[in-house]
Chain A
């Protein structure tokens, strides 16, 4: 059974340091699939944040986080990461990690339950 378990969310002040999210994967061969972070602000819709290729050699970012967030993965630990810095109030959201479909960057066939990041003073 595919499982994705996010962690690392919490309350952080605007511009105050950084936060690293983790997503522990199980139930599939992690190193075979691209992985993605998607976020959802409270009461709002889904927003694509970042995608990383299966090998980790290619990364892609939404304009809204480019230069502030870094996606990475450790295939030896079956874990996906999102390093977030220079956080803003508008980064407040539930952050979901999602598994890419077979050979695809553009569909997400399993999602974690999400971790809440709150940026507030």
Chain B
């Protein structure tokens, strides 16, 4: 089960947009999780583009070829966190990306 590739870090100023990539999947079952330090992960995006209820519409997902992306628009200080993508890897197996630390400057 090969891990998905994410950039280790990303940053942006408040109000800006930032996009985090996740390379190595063509699956329709890509999810994105946000994790603040010392906290449990939180589901932000599933099935590439879908947003669970309660997640701000500033968060959006997309996919092109073998790269999925998470875009955070209108950055806020509270968006500073680690972000992980995940995807199915064969039948009923799952793999995570290495994680991206998002810094709000």
Least Cβ–Cβ distance between A59 and chain B, in angstroms: 9
> Cβ of B33 < 8 Å from any Cβ of A?
yes
Encoded as 1 (CB less than 8 Å from any A CB) or 0, chain B from 86 to 105 comes to: 11100011111111000000
- Asked if A46 and B1 make an inter-chain contact with CB atoms under 8 angstroms apart, the answer reads no
> Cβ of B31 < 8 Å from any Cβ of A?
yes
> Cβ of A101 < 8 Å from any Cβ of B?
yes
Question: Which applies to chain B's interface (DSSP): helix, strand, loop or mixed?
Answer: strand
Identify which of B1, B31, B40 contacts A63 (C-beta below 8 A). Answer: B1
| Known A105-B88, A106-B86, A106-B88; contact A46-B33, beta-carbon cutoff 8 A | yes
B residues contacting the other copy or chain, number (CB 8 A)? 25
Identify which of A47, A96, A107 contacts B29 (C-beta below 8 A). Answer: A107
- Asked if A48 and B94 make an inter-chain contact with CB atoms under 8 angstroms apart, the answer reads yes
Least Cβ–Cβ distance between B52 and chain A, in angstroms: 6
| Known A106-B29, A106-B86; contact A60-B92, beta-carbon cutoff 8 A | yes
- Asked if A105 and B99 make an inter-chain contact with CB atoms under 8 angstroms apart, the answer reads no
- Interface positions of A from 46 to 71, Cβ below 8 Å from B: 46-48, 51, 58, 60, 62-63
- For B46, list chain A residues within 8 Å (CB): 101, 104, 106-107, 109
- Asked if B40 and A111 make an inter-chain contact with CB atoms under 8 angstroms apart, the answer reads yes
Most chain B CB inside 10 Å of its own CB: which residue of A38, A107, A114: A107
From A64, which residue of chain B is reached at the shortest CB distance? B1
From A59, which residue of chain B is reached at the shortest CB distance? B92
Identify which of A46, A58, A62, A101 contacts B41 (C-beta below 8 A). Answer: A46
Encoded as 1 (CB less than 8 Å from any B CB) or 0, chain A from 76 to 116 comes to: 00000000000000000000101001001111111111100
Sample of 7 more A-B contacts, CB < 8 Å, known A48-B94, A106-B88: A45-B99, A51-B94, A104-B46, A105-B94, A106-B31, A106-B87, A107-B43
